[in-house]
Structure 1
């Protein structure tokens, strides 16, 4: 079996037919000229398959048709009769069909033959044709069978010359744009003495009428069937438009189907093939098929790398590709050929590393399409620094990378093209760091527990621009902080938030002095800095940041503290900036007050400049790329948390420069609000549940917010996010403050409260978790005045000891206060002495398991002097 399949693709299919109705199939020694049965164009293919002579009288062709829609299909076969006078029966079937379209048994009658599907010539050369258009199954196997049944007159031979199936189909797996002609007949060439009177039939011509757009033809194939050619061999048995075609391969002298490339010989009209028998005495030509293929030519015409989108108006990117962010590359593919392209792939490489591969369903001739790729090149921050007591010394490293982007169109050669060597295009692209992203998470600075709270205040500080007092060398700026401290200070920090540090990649050299409430002046040393930069693009490549000073030793009581700020660089120190600006400096104080609830706090610090909202000056970043994170590490017993407050600080937050631009705040992926910062341009004060945040003056350019996040608290991995959607801010602090549920040890009510009597109880308490208590409540028997008159709790090892005395029958006389707060530590046993009056409720047992611990009776001596070891008073310690 041999196949010829010709396919291509176009956007619109045109199939037109010019049919030449063959003459009635009488016998003719000279045969019938080969004429056009069908011609037209198709978006699909011309399928040809055949099986040649094998000398048998039973021959089958099994072939698989391509996918597609069959528009026309013909089955051809030839029989050798032996002599024109011999007659016999043959059977022709297709896919088992023997009763349609002329298929089935047929009586071949030589010179007397009148079958309409048969051309009989010379000495019994039969060529038979059948329309099997409705019988062909596309995309699967098809079988044709031709066999001799018997002879009815003479020695009818019945051997089968061959079987040919031709199908025109649309679409399919790899369609092509083809113009075609199907010419058939049975031209019988012979020498003169074969007839009487002697007349030679030496040559013949078949015509492919119609016009051809030669400029669009990329390949032309001529397929011809010969019967009994050539003996002797002949190299010049055919011409196409007067161009000789080599026929040396025609040497079987039985059946031949061959194809010639005639691409160079096609003309705009009057295309034709000339045949000759050469020196052979008898040859037949029953089929000639011309197909003109119009091939696509796929080329990449543009590579467009960008971050947000590509501006076609200005032919440039909106945002260059940035390190560690999702960028995009559009590859423009153009079909420069004359034929439509079927499905193909486009691949993109960056420095020979494949970025991706995308599929294109097809592309019409003259059409273009854009293929979009995601690209996330990896890179590093160009800014690093070393902290000194006066500021940070920055170092700049050029971390940019040069990439060669290479687009490859149809690298797998899925499409047959005019030019297979023009499928690649390259473009150089530089990628840099964009520091306006959320690239500097706030760091955990402090974590602890305190009976107290947190104060954050900017005092009377205001924004100071470049060349203002405090930022210009030789000038000074004072900020006053009036602190009303509710307790003892455990932590105190001073923050200075700077911006516009110039020249590029430098930070301020700052002198700061603190005058305390006693009038003592202290020179401060910077403890740590956090710095960030916009990155290596556009102008104003200035560093922003936060300087942190530890002032715990200098904040010791309520009163006014004054901070004096000056620029220490006169221009002679190239390690530091000569110019800069800063927002209002801030103090943060953690204080202890034993009368307040126990609170757990986390303090995160940093500096992360953000500029989202697709603003051009920020590199067209979006909100999701401008989210600063602060993670609060550790586990939390959520059930014991009464309230959770989140406080945030972001200098320059709260005023959007363009309509619609704003800020976002999230906690554990829950959006807390938009545009929630206060304090940028106007003074602001909020105090709630242990956290106070004060912006004391107008134009501080500090944004703060406090939000209740109790409902969103997790047992671990809590996270706050400050997002910028065009505002332009620098998140610098996030504070999580948890107020614990009040500690309590409750014995609960006994099942039976009697008998009861006053007396002195001695026992012990062991708790499962730390609880802090300062009062005792006693459960009384109904209708009595049961109460506690004296209590003492102590531990000899730790030295802890508290006492409480009854104030008589006034107010809440069932409750007595301890002389101070005590924290009962987990796993530690404390002894107690409780002297009761009247009739308290009693648990009559030696040991009493309670929620959070166990209470044990050592001895109870009642008012009558009798002793017991199974009496425990019912009480609540809280």
Structure 2
């Protein structure tokens, strides 16, 4: 253990779900984006404590608090072995058992579960009312070993983040972000390989005046010693170079299975897990960007190698948590309000729209409720009092019956002792949205030699899947692991390693697929997703922020596959978020030749 200092209308409920979609935590192989779990300011401390490193359940950590927290959250990492199996996990806090959480893998829809990749779970639960002054104990158990449970169920660790108001000392402003991104190479992505080399996480609205210190802490799952990875804050690499000749010049290895060593020092051995903290005081800006990278092409051959004597990157890496704290000297503490994620859904003539937004406070807690006003064309639509929860943010949704034409919609929030904040959006209202999809011919990215990578072995058969899942988790000697997997697969598979139907060489090529999304309706389309399927398997997802009436968005979707004919399906708004007048043209299917 380590310690470091409305009307109830279905469409409105759907909009609230959409603007909190990351919280709904649907399984996504490619990863679940970071979202703010909490933000605020205390005159006191923000503490993290945890027990880190892969182990059999149960896992336990303790945290000692001077007072009850104003906000606290508990976290646990679970290795599922594969996304195909299910099981359960359960927290207990100070002897009080919380309800078990069912882990459904690829079918997961739990609010408090982030599951991505091949069954990597990041479980979160609020613990504000469960922790108190003195020593607190948090325990996490799973269904590992039960007769009817097939999930692996070992634990990456269990941890706590708590904000405590002591009433004296410096002010500490904090933001806590959680998710479960899956950075990976082509060989770890299923039948049709994808690649995800980096993820960007914005950290906005930070104060920089009179800042004494700024500290960034991150938590990574599925790390591997000897495979470089990188963490950048506002473009600057964090961490110190490893003193090991097996690394190429310029390599860093944040996720090296030793926690609290990336900024210097010996650290602690933590198997397949890394918790790291960095002083980012000199790089802090009002608008910040945190970047995770699974590796870099250090030798200039066009690929990020993960094997051999000097790997260039991780096979896979799961960033799950980021905590930024800013300490300021004794000064006046005030609320800092903002309005984010303003959108208008189902705004068409004759229908009922919903105005939705997220109201945030990144400063000290306000003395009373917030006043939220929604205005259309400068006239009040609705005003309401809103209580701010300990996490520092709340969603609002207000019904609106728009007339045709263009309208200016604004949401304003105010509170005693705080400067008001406002956000606005312009909305065109007419006939309902009508999305249409078209696809073009795929194009190779760069030269064939430059974009070719080894074809991953196709996985089939229960025995091969189990052995590979075990190997991925345990990561024994690469040579012996590969020999073991190969032997089992030869024994159980009758499927040859085939390339495309034209007898290609079996090398995977990087392509871009042109996709055109058009709004043929008379109203603005709010944000929606576009899913791209390659041979029946989802290969990419685009998030479209919205399209004006008559507008067209053209995207170049990266795909990785072998040359030949493949079945392509592209679907706009598969979840039915928008009130689309004609869903039949939301989908484009075809047999497409990849040259």
Give the TM-score band, short-chain normalised.
0.3 to 0.5
The structure in which a higher percent of residues are helix is 2
Q: What TM-score does the superposition give when structure 1 sets the normalisation length?
A: 0.30
The structure in which a higher percent of residues are strand is 1
Bigger relative contact order (CA 8 A; separation at least 6): 2
Rg (Cα) greater in structure: 1
